[in-house]
Amino acid sequence: MFISNTEEEKKEMLKMIGVKSFEELVKQVPSKFLNPKFNLPDGLNEIEAYKKMKDLSEKNNALLSFVGGGVYERYTPAVVKHITQRTEFLTAYTPYQAEASQGILQTIYEYQSLMSELYGMDYSNASMYDGSTALAEAVKACVRISGKTKIIYSSIINPKYMDVVKTYFAGNKEYEFVSVPHKNGSVDLDKFNQLLDDKTACAVVSNPNYLGFIEDIEEFNKIAKSKNVLTVCMADPVSLAILKTPGEAGFDFAVGEGQSLGLPLSYGGPYLGIFTCKKQHLRQMPGRICGMTVDKDGKRGFTLTLQAREQHIRREKAPSNICSNQALCALSVTIYLTLLGKEGLKELALLNHNLAVYASKKLFEAGIKTKYDKPFFNEFAFDVENAESLRKNIACSKKIDIGITASELGEEFKNTVISAFTETKNEKEIDLYVSAIKEYSKSPAMKK
Amino acid sequence: MNDIQKFDTRLSVEKSKDGKRGVHFKRTIDDHSIDSKYLRKTEPKLPQMSEFDAVRHFTKLSKMNFSVDTHFYPLGSCTMKYNPKINEETSSMTGFASVHPLALTECAQGTLEIIYDMKTRLCELCGMDDATLWPVAGAHGEFTGVLVAKKHFEVKGELRDEIIVPDSAHGTNPATVTMAGFKTINIKSGADGRIDLNVLKQNLNSKTAVLMLTLPNTLGIFETHIEDIIKLCHDNGTLVYMDGANMNALIGLVKPGDFGVDIMHLNLHKTFSTPHGGGGPGSGAILVKKHLSDYLPVPIVVKKEGGFSVEENRPNTIGRIKAFFTNTAVLLRAYTYMIMHGPKEFKEISENAIINANYIKSKLNKYYPAYANEFCMHECVLTPSKELEEKGIKTLDIAKRLLDYGFHAPTVYFPLIVHEAIMIEPTETENKDTIDAFIETMIKIYEEGINNPETLKNAPHTMPVKRLDEVKAAREPNLRW
């Protein structure tokens, strides 16, 4: 289908190789295995393939969506799409040959700088797969550094993220995961203090937390540090335009889901795992790192560095097996932040926050309070009757998805809805959302 | 044009000016009631540029980069084939791009149908029974696959903690073994680069959980005794994991499941043409035989009357490996590629990949003798000839000189078992003219190496930078502005 050689050229090449047929080249493969029958349809041409994909894409159904829970509907500026589609970036690979990859290497250096600045941390790597795997790798780094076995985490962190962390420790039964209960929608700091002991490798908190509320991360870190426990903060990058950074709060590691910075949702990805750390943990950082150096003539240049940590050199002693990462997503985020600048990012964060505040006020007027009286960023939780069926009913009849339910967190959150608000919505759309909730949560059908 | 304009290495922040902006959002008031103890104290140093400034900045950077579309990129084991443009069109269709992973499954039927159908097609292509498309990179797939094996023995109540890895394997294999809590048993390859059956036999014991093998191996050679290898393992209760990084040699030609492989991964960004993006995003699907199906990671996409749904509750699953499904838009690209290929077209891929690699190998043999004295599969591993070595020419010099001639370098110094390895994978999509030009250039470089070795030792001469001080980079890390 995408072969460039003609049959004639193929024959010439076979002749040059010194064989009569292709079959002679693959004699090393036992013949009984060659040319099995494949029960597959014939290939489509480009128009047919395009139409099939178009039809399938139309089987998806876009609602007016207030779904959050870690990833958010975002607007991607046209420039971001166009530059990331430049084939010099799109079709290159990992910059092993630095001299022929200065473009991508410089963008990685800029990406690392942007993430370090945003999270207030010393260093960032070139990217991880997504927020959850970045979190897992950060927890693993803490375990390596401390040599300890207990992992203490906030009970109101995204449960899917903790699932992944646990998978990354699969089968290593000596590790113990202990969750800290919440108190009125944020980590119960007294209980947290009590749970810390000399077996604790690290303490993990999410800000904002899964329910959307803002945590006192400085106090969290202070308590952990008083017991010499390493700390990991999972933070939303957009929120960091206004919220206290993990760096300011003193965290050892800070990770995040970079999707918030203008990447499309695409039912799961590709997203971007942000991974940052304090200086003293640099050599425990997994994945690729780009550094600035000079060439033979003393001219500025960029290269992958500190590779002695990585799998292709250290093999079974490497801290992680990561090889390919999410380079193109990191590039996308770099362009996005360059376009926004510090003012644009702050404007975006405030817009998100203000829209969420607007929604909470409108809901309050309709008799629905946020679940806790706590500050939130762009997402918050509230209770309704029969949350799951309310969501489905409104989706069905009004084409509005009011947001996920928090039932994964346990019985207490069975009827909790989490709604998220971004720049993709305006007040009018929020009014529609509020009136739908108002109408349906009071309808007699819901009371059943 | 002076060098500064041509190769501008100024960072975005060095071009930044107060008051410039690329994107504006709806104006909003900076008035909120969040307590100051929760707020950021210092401003992040982000660049301030106009939209056009930013476009110029990144476009210029893109010009300082080799890529598949602009340069022949024979990076061995990476399968840098052409990435069809239709993939980009289909994967970014609004219907696909806008669905939230936590949307109601009723709203994601198109994407779920693709995931389901793709799984079915991949199983048929590879002769396997079940699959998960969630791993987002080859290494992520290896980790998932090894966890599946771990679960298998856990459920059986067998304590096995060793995994055998040949010394020719990719570094990700042993690193994965450690990550999953196993011990790596490295075994030495035979003189021909293949697994030595006797060495394998000596290392198989009641503790051996898995044999990880790359097929064809990293020398571009097929393990001819694959049936014996797998029988030895299975007789010992050991599972066989196939690293499918080199599937471009086998696609449409054989079904790995027929050999008896229990678990394998595919790098969809290699074999199924999705762009490498400067180092990702990728996709590392795992395929398994029926007896391992229960252990695959959640969620599971199931087909029911009335549509597709997503199930979480699987008692024996290894768990979740990524928060939200996978690099779904990468799957959409690979799926587009798949539906454009029937059995005939799939076989054309491996056939042309193998012919191209053997053509290069046979034409360069005099100058760069191949490690293995036999036909190769989709890639060949060469070494600098004795004459070049006598002139002090290293593989690195050859690689750097190739850049001057407009060719990306092959993979170098890998596999580790070959001294000064040059690993060339032309893929099926390059045409003969390009390959001939590459061969001519390699011969020219050979001659330069003999007659004027300094030209090679100081290469590259025409890139934006000359050879970089990597020691300085590592000793005095400068990793951010």
**Mind spelling out the 3-state secondary structure of chain B?**
CCHHHHCCCCCHHHHCCCCCCCCCCCCCCCCCCCCHHHECCCCCCCCCCCHHHHHHHHHHHHCCCCCCCCCECCECCCCCCCCCHHHHHHHCCHHHHCCCCCCCHHHEHHHHHHHHHHHHHHHHHHCCCEEECCCCCHHHHHHHHHHHHHHHHHHHCCCCCEEEEECCCCCHHHHHHHHCCCEEEEECECCCCCECHHHHHHHCCCCEEEEEEECCCCCCCCCCCHHHHHHHHHHCCCEEEEEECCHHHCCCCCCHHHHCCCEEEECHHHHCCCCCCCCCCCCCCEEECHHHHHHCCCCEEEEECCEEEEECCCCCCCCCCCCCCCCHHHHHHHHHHHHCCCHHHHHHHHHHHHHHHHHHHHHHCCCCCECCCCCCCCCEEECCCHHHHHCCCCHHHHHHHHHHCCECCCEECCCCCCCCCEEECCCCCCCHHHHHHHHHHHHHHHHHHHHCHHHHHCCCCCCCCCCECHHHHHHCCCCCC
Pairwise CB contact (< 8 Å): B32 & A353 = yes
Pairwise CB contact (< 8 Å): B174 & A315 = yes
pLDDT of residue A444: 47
In angstroms, the CA A412 to CA A156 distance is: 12
pLDDT of residue B70: 97
Residue A78 at interface with chain B, using a CB cutoff of 8 Å? no
Residues in A touching B92 (Cβ below 8 Å): 81, 264
Pairwise CB contact (< 8 Å): A324 & B84 = no
Which tens digit of pLDDT belongs to each residue from B391-450?
999 999 999 999 999 999 999 999 999 999 999 999 999 999 999 999 999 999 999 999
Same domain, B384 and B414: yes
Which tens digit of pLDDT belongs to each residue from A171-202?
677 899 999 999 999 999 999 999 999 999 99
Same domain, B331 and B382: no
Closest CB to B275: pick one of A22, A91, A354: A91
Same domain, B301 and B370: no
Which tens digit of pLDDT belongs to each residue from B277-325?
999 999 999 999 999 999 999 999 999 998 999 999 999 999 999 999 9
Here the CATH number for the domain that contains residue B119 is 3.40.640.10
From B450's Cα to the closest Cα of chain A, the distance in A is: 24
Residue A191 at interface with chain B, using a CB cutoff of 8 Å? no
Residue B475 at interface with chain A, using a CB cutoff of 8 Å? no
Is residue B55 domain-resident? no
Structure-token pair, residue B114? 């693709």
In angstroms, the CA A160 to CA B145 distance is: 20
Same domain, B288 and B419: no
Nearest CA in chain B to A376: B34
Is residue B44 domain-resident? no
pLDDT of residue B7: 80
Residues in B touching A124 (Cβ below 8 Å): 479-480
Same domain, B141 and B255: yes
Residue A236 at interface with chain B, using a CB cutoff of 8 Å? no
Residue B4 at interface with chain A, using a CB cutoff of 8 Å? no
Same domain, B175 and B240: yes
φ/ψ of A254, rounded to 5, equals -135, 130
Here the CATH number for the domain that contains residue B402 is 3.90.1150.10
Q: How confident is the model at residue B4 (pLDDT cuts 50, 70, 90)?
A: low
In this structure, are residues B364 and B442 in contact, taking their beta carbons and an 8 Å threshold? yes
Same domain, B333 and B361: no
Q: Is residue B384 reached through a cis peptide bond, with omega within 30 degrees of 0 on the bond before it?
A: no
Surface of A (378-437) touching B: CB under 8 A: 391-392, 395, 401, 404, 423, 426
pLDDT of residue B1: 47
Per-residue pLDDT for B364 more than 60?
yes
From B129's Cα to the closest Cα of chain A, the distance in A is: 14
In angstroms, the CA A183 to CA B16 distance is: 44
Residue B231 at interface with chain A, using a CB cutoff of 8 Å? no
Is residue B465 domain-resident? no
From B410's Cα to the closest Cα of chain A, the distance in A is: 10
Nearest CA in chain B to A266: B97
Average pLDDT for chain B = 96
Residues in A touching B50 (Cβ below 8 Å): none
Residues in B touching A271 (Cβ below 8 Å): 324, 327
Task: Pick from A9, A285, A324, A423 the residue to mutate for testing the B interface (most B CBs within 10 Å).
Answer: A324
pLDDT of residue B32: 83
Residue B37 at interface with chain A, using a CB cutoff of 8 Å? yes
Q: Which of these, A154, A223, A153, A220, lies nearest to A185 by C-alpha position?
A: A154
pLDDT (mean) for A245-273: 98
Same domain, B141 and B179: yes
Residue A15 at interface with chain B, using a CB cutoff of 8 Å? no
Is residue B423 domain-resident? yes
Nearest CA in chain A to B82: A2
Surface of A (351-370) touching B: CB under 8 A: 351, 353-354, 357
Report helix, strand or coil for B183.
Answer: strand
Pairwise CB contact (< 8 Å): B86 & A46 = yes
Q: How confident is the model at residue B2 (pLDDT cuts 50, 70, 90)?
A: low
Listed by start position, the domains of chain A span 64-73+341-447, 78-336
Amino acid in position A232: V
Residue with tokens 């696609």: B251
From B388's Cα to the closest Cα of chain A, the distance in A is: 22
pLDDT of residue B29: 75
Q: Is residue B415 reached through a cis peptide bond, with omega within 30 degrees of 0 on the bond before it?
A: yes
Pairwise CB contact (< 8 Å): B340 & A62 = no
Domain extent for B378: 349-457
The Cβ-side half-sphere exposure at A392, using a 13 Å CA radius, reads 7
Per-residue pLDDT for B374 more than 70?
yes
- The contacts of residue B120 (CB under 8 Å, 6+ apart) are none
Residue A69 at interface with chain B, using a CB cutoff of 8 Å? yes
- Considering only residues B7 and B187, tell me which one the structure prediction assigns the higher pLDDT: B187
Bridge-based pairing state of the strands B208-214 and B162-166? parallel
Q: In CATH terms, are A64-73+341-447 and A78-336 the same topology?
A: no
Same domain, B326 and B447: no
Closest CB to A335: pick one of B54, B178, B184: B54
pLDDT of residue A359: 97
In angstroms, the CA A418 to CA A405 distance is: 6
Per-residue pLDDT for B206 more than 90?
yes
Task: Pick from A66, A172, A233, A338 the residue to mutate for testing the B interface (most B CBs within 10 Å).
Answer: A338
Cα B35 → chain centroid: 47
Count of domains for chain B = 2
Structure-token pair, residue B116? 């389901």
Same domain, B329 and B436: no
Amino acid in position A288: R
Same domain, B135 and B158: yes
Q: How confident is the model at residue A311 (pLDDT cuts 50, 70, 90)?
A: confident
Same domain, B417 and B313: no
Cα dihedral: B322, B328, B329, B330 (round 10): 80
Q: Residues for chain A: how many in total?
A: 448
Closest CB to B89: pick one of A10, A50, A89: A50
Residue A110 at interface with chain B, using a CB cutoff of 8 Å? yes
pLDDT of residue A176: 95
Residues in A touching B358 (Cβ below 8 Å): 13, 17, 25
Per-residue pLDDT for A141 more than 80?
yes
Surface of B (269-288) touching A: CB under 8 A: 269, 273, 275-282
In this structure, are residues B133 and B330 in contact, taking their beta carbons and an 8 Å threshold? no
Residue A295 at interface with chain B, using a CB cutoff of 8 Å? yes
Residues in B touching A91 (Cβ below 8 Å): 67-69, 80, 83, 275-276
- Considering only residues B191 and B186, tell me which one the structure prediction assigns the higher pLDDT: B186
Average pLDDT for chain A = 96
From B454's Cα to the closest Cα of chain A, the distance in A is: 15
Could you name the CATH architecture of A64-73+341-447? Alpha-Beta Complex (3.90)
In angstroms, the CA A300 to CA B124 distance is: 51
A78-336 CATH fold: Aspartate Aminotransferase; domain 2 (3.40.640)
Which tens digit of pLDDT belongs to each residue from A210-248?
999 999 999 999 999 999 999 999 999 999 999 999 999
pLDDT (mean) for A84-96: 96
Closest CB to B479: pick one of A123, A312, A346: A123
Per-residue pLDDT for B23 more than 50?
yes
Q: String of b and e for B261-281 (b: at least 16 CB within 10 Å)?
A: bbbbbbbbbbbbbbbbbbbbb
Closest CB to A73: pick one of B100, B151, B356: B100
Per-residue pLDDT for A447 more than 70?
no
Residue B214 at interface with chain A, using a CB cutoff of 8 Å? no
Residue A228 at interface with chain B, using a CB cutoff of 8 Å? no
In this structure, are residues A104 and A83 in contact, taking their beta carbons and an 8 Å threshold? no
Closest CB to B113: pick one of A29, A56, A315: A56
In angstroms, the CA B267 to CA A260 distance is: 27
Per-residue pLDDT for A268 more than 60?
yes
Neighbours of A279 (CB within 10 A): 10
pLDDT of residue A448: 39
Pairwise CB contact (< 8 Å): B37 & A218 = yes
Nearest CA in chain B to A272: B281
pLDDT of residue A445: 46
